[in-house]
Amino acid sequence: MRFGRLTSFAVLSLAMTGCFIFPDAKSPKTGAVVTGEQLAVVDDVKTWTTTSKEKVGETTYTDENGNTVGHATTYADKTETHSMKVWYPFQGNEQLSDEDFFRIAGDQKSLDATLAARETAKKWNKRGKITLVAGAVGFIAGYFVPTGIFQDVLLIGGGLAVSGGWYMAYWGAKQMEPEVHAVDRSIGERDALQYNQNGGHTAGVSMSKSF
């Protein structure tokens, strides 16, 4: 199955290229001290762009007798802008990790949920890396066995495992980003309000964030 081998090789090459910037689930910086300033939930909008190939035309080639001898598809880059509403916890003018925010606010339930989500993200990130490495080993091994169904299984299965493993690791890493939360925004806002009413001191909070 020559096509299967080429497909697997393409998948492996793509995933292994991504390994040079392999997604790593790094825990956020914690350890903020209590300052007595107000806690707040700050809203923002995160924007980013993606580029993909879009079919813009197709050409048919014919010989001198008008018989079709081939086709060619033309593609062009298509850039799209995406946006989503996000929120961040603050103490005064300092942005906090969710862990520090809920610790300072005294919300143990939300703190436990946040810590559990972080651990889950780390597990998926680690599983993804293991799957990727195992897939790469299987793919390479496919070139050292006799041609046949077993070789095709190693090549195709290995390539798919590499791709799947990379996305598992990527998902785990994404869960560590500051705009991903284990609890709803309303819980953070409630905690901030209760904390401030029970002794927090007023302090200015910047209501914007740059990316």
Give tens-digit pLDDT for 117-167: 999 999 999 999 999 889 888 888 888 888 888 888 888 888 899 889 999
SS3 196: helix
Q: With respect to residue 86, please indicate whether it lies within any of the assigned structural domains.
A: no
The secondary structure of residue 64, as a DSSP letter, is T
Q: With respect to residue 60, please indicate whether it lies within any of the assigned structural domains.
A: no
Give the pLDDT score at 202: 39
| Distance between CA atoms of residues 117 and 172, nearest Å | 10
Q: With respect to residue 209, please indicate whether it lies within any of the assigned structural domains.
A: no
The number of folded domains in the chain is 1
Structural domain harbouring 144: 2-41+94-197
Q: Please list the ranges in the chain whose pLDDT falls under 50.
A: 1-8, 10-11, 15, 18-20, 201-211
Q: With respect to residue 131, please indicate whether it lies within any of the assigned structural domains.
A: yes
Question: Which single residue is written with the structure tokens 């050409």?
Answer: 59
What pTM, to 2 d.p., does this model score?
0.72
Q: Specify the DSSP element, H or E, that contains 68.
A: strand 68-91
Q: With respect to residue 106, please indicate whether it lies within any of the assigned structural domains.
A: yes
Q: With respect to residue 52, please indicate whether it lies within any of the assigned structural domains.
A: no
Give the pLDDT score at 2: 46
| Distance between CA atoms of residues 106 and 200, nearest Å | 13
Give the pLDDT score at 127: 94
Contact 81, 52 (CB under 8 A): no
Mean per-residue pLDDT over the chain, rounded: 83
Spell out the residues 6+ positions from residue 177 whose beta carbon is closer than 8 angstroms to its own: none
Q: With respect to residue 53, please indicate whether it lies within any of the assigned structural domains.
A: no
Contact 168, 131 (CB under 8 A): yes
What would the two tokens of residue 170 be? 């990527």
Contact 156, 8 (CB under 8 A): yes
Q: With respect to residue 71, please indicate whether it lies within any of the assigned structural domains.
A: no
| Distance between CA atoms of residues 40 and 27, nearest Å | 22
